[in-house]
Amino acid sequence: MSDKKTLLIVAGDGIGPEVMSEVLRVIEWLDKRRGIPFEVTQGLVGGAALDAEDTPLSDATMAKALAADAVLLGAVGGPKWDGLPFEKKPERGLLRLRKEMALFANLRPAPVFDALVDASPLKPEIVRGLDIVIVRELTGGVYFGEPRGITPLPEGGFRGVNTQVYTTPEIVRIARIAFELAGRRQGRVCSVEKANVMESGVLWRREVQALHDAEFPAIALSHMYADNCAMQLLRDPRQFDVIVTDNLFGDMLSDEAAMLTGSLGMLPSASLGEADAQGRRRALYEPVHGSAPDIAGRGIANPLASLLSFAMCLRWSFGLDAEADLLEAAVKGVLDGGLRTADIMQPGKARVSTRVMGESIVRELDKLAG
Ligand code: IPM
Ligand code: MG
């Protein structure tokens, strides 16, 4: 095994390519200023892949993703490809990456930056200092469960079916990630399902509790129904440290948590596979914000979510904690210094382009690294 660090960048659609350019700037900085070279290859995903390769993710790109130490994704989708059949939708490219790389654990932190506390639609006294992570199961549940499909009914009309299904190993491995993560944070896990109406939820609750009792008794574990969790996130979000939940509830609750911060353009995510014997995991990092077709190509998108996703990559895939800390500190420094992209603009601050934001991060890195 060589110790070259390999990255596959799939910038995708909409603002994806614009924000990923700023990540490349930081990759270059790490090489030049810290002596940490990455071997970067690029590939197509989503609508960009559909246009050029007639598929939302080619087998060749899939193979590169499986071979890379980590994949950095921009965003997929846009109105241009909305009318396509299901198997051809840009989103299928992303779902294929998640499934074939077996990225079962999706980490979505939702921190409220002090400088942006007023951007939240909630009162500052409710969200100041908020720091939660949603750990979402990503390769199971209703997203992939069988049977699924739309079949005609004899009397006319159709029947649409999806299946919510979870097994003990699927629940245990995602719960373990949540407990381990909480151990490095505030030591609290809230497990979320609908055990009041779903058998898959009953099993979920039972298995999470059993793993806790057997291996993580020092973590404070609570259980909550998903609808209540949606409400509690608005009522008192700081009661949470790590929330662990299934694929569909995680999809919804992570959007809600993102909105608490008021700045979707700031939020990173990591999707991780099982660790191998050397402790290495397949991993994909992407901003939560999506392709934002309405502002694509104008150079005004916020690159900070992609940069913070790259910080997660440095930490989780390469153990470069010092560099991850530096990059996160640079983001904080630039915000404290008053620079804002359009999406997080506030009165009295300086509005900058995607590119100026990226350049400012690099300048801040220079400053912080001495
Ligand atoms: C997300 C997105 C995806 C999902 C879509 C684009 C398929 O909403 O990453 O949360 O539903 O998982
Ligand atoms: Mg979503």
- CB within 8 A of 25, min separation 6: which ones? 358, 359, 361, 362
Instruction: Specify the 3-state DSSP secondary structure of 15.
Output: coil
Q: 262: pLDDT confidence band, cut at 50, 70 and 90?
A: confident
Nearest CA to ligand 1 atom 2: 251
219-245: burial string, b at 16+ Cβ within 10 Å, e else: bebebbbbeebbebbeeebeebbbbbb
Residue 278 has pLDDT above 90, yes or no: no
Q: Where in the chain is CATH 3.40.718.10?
A: 1-112+265-370, 131-260
- CB within 8 A of 162, min separation 6: which ones? 142, 145, 148
| 240 contacts 89 by C-beta, under 8 angstroms | no
| Residues 165-185 pLDDT 10s | 999 999 999 999 999 999 999
Homologous superfamily of 1-112+265-370: Isopropylmalate Dehydrogenase (3.40.718.10)
Q: What is the pLDDT of residue 264?
A: 85
Pocket test of ligand 1: the residue of 57, 162, 251, 309 to mutate, having most ligand atoms within 8 Å of its CB, is: 251
| Residues 77-101 pLDDT 10s | 999 999 999 889 999 999 999 999 9
Provide the mean pLDDT of the chain. Answer: 96
Note if 251 is an active site residue. yes
Q: What is the pLDDT of residue 160?
A: 98
| Residues 36-70 pLDDT 10s | 999 999 999 999 999 999 999 999 999 999 999 99
Note if 285 is an active site residue. no
Residue 188 CA, ligand 1 centroid: distance in Å: 26
Catalytic, out of 13, 89, 194, 241: 194
What topology is assigned to 131-260 in CATH? Isopropylmalate Dehydrogenase (3.40.718)
| One-letter amino acid of 36 | I
Paired strand residues for 188? 220
- The span from the CA of 134 to the CA of 130, in Å, is 13
| 170 contacts 140 by C-beta, under 8 angstroms | yes
**Whats the size of the chain, residue-wise?**
370
Return the ligand 1 atom nearest residue 247 CA.
Answer: 12
Catalytic, out of 59, 114, 118, 227: 227
- Number of neighbouring beta carbons within 10 Å of residue 64: 17
Residue 2 has pLDDT above 80, yes or no: no
Torsion of CA 119, 121, 125, 127, to 10 degrees: -80
Instruction: Specify the 3-state DSSP secondary structure of 244.
Output: strand
Pocket test of ligand 1: the residue of 76, 91, 106, 247 to mutate, having most ligand atoms within 8 Å of its CB, is: 91
| Residues, CB within 5 angstroms of ligand 2 (ion) | 251
| Residues 286-343 pLDDT 10s | 999 899 999 999 999 999 999 999 999 999 999 999 999 999 999 999 999 999 999 9
In the structure encoding, which two tokens stand for residue 266, read together?
């700031």
Per-residue DSSP letter, 187: S
Say if residue 154 is preceded by a cis peptide, omega within 30 of 0.
no
Which DSSP string corresponds to 275-289?
A: --TTS---EEEEESS
- Which among 64, 134, 132 has a CA at the least distance from the CA of 105? 134
Note if 3 is an active site residue. no
pTM of the model: 0.92
Q: What is the pLDDT of residue 152?
A: 98
| Residues 220-237 pLDDT 10s | 999 999 999 999 999 999
Pick the ligand that lies closest to the CA of residue 255. Answer: 2
- CB within 8 A of 150, min separation 6: which ones? 158, 159, 160, 161
Residue 368 has pLDDT above 80, yes or no: yes
| 274 contacts 102 by C-beta, under 8 angstroms | yes
- The span from the CA of 133 to the CA of 58, in Å, is 32
Residue 351 CA, ligand 1 centroid: distance in Å: 29
75-85: burial string, b at 16+ Cβ within 10 Å, e else: bbbbeebeeee
Q: What is the pLDDT of residue 1?
A: 45
- The span from the CA of 272 to the CA of 269, in Å, is 10
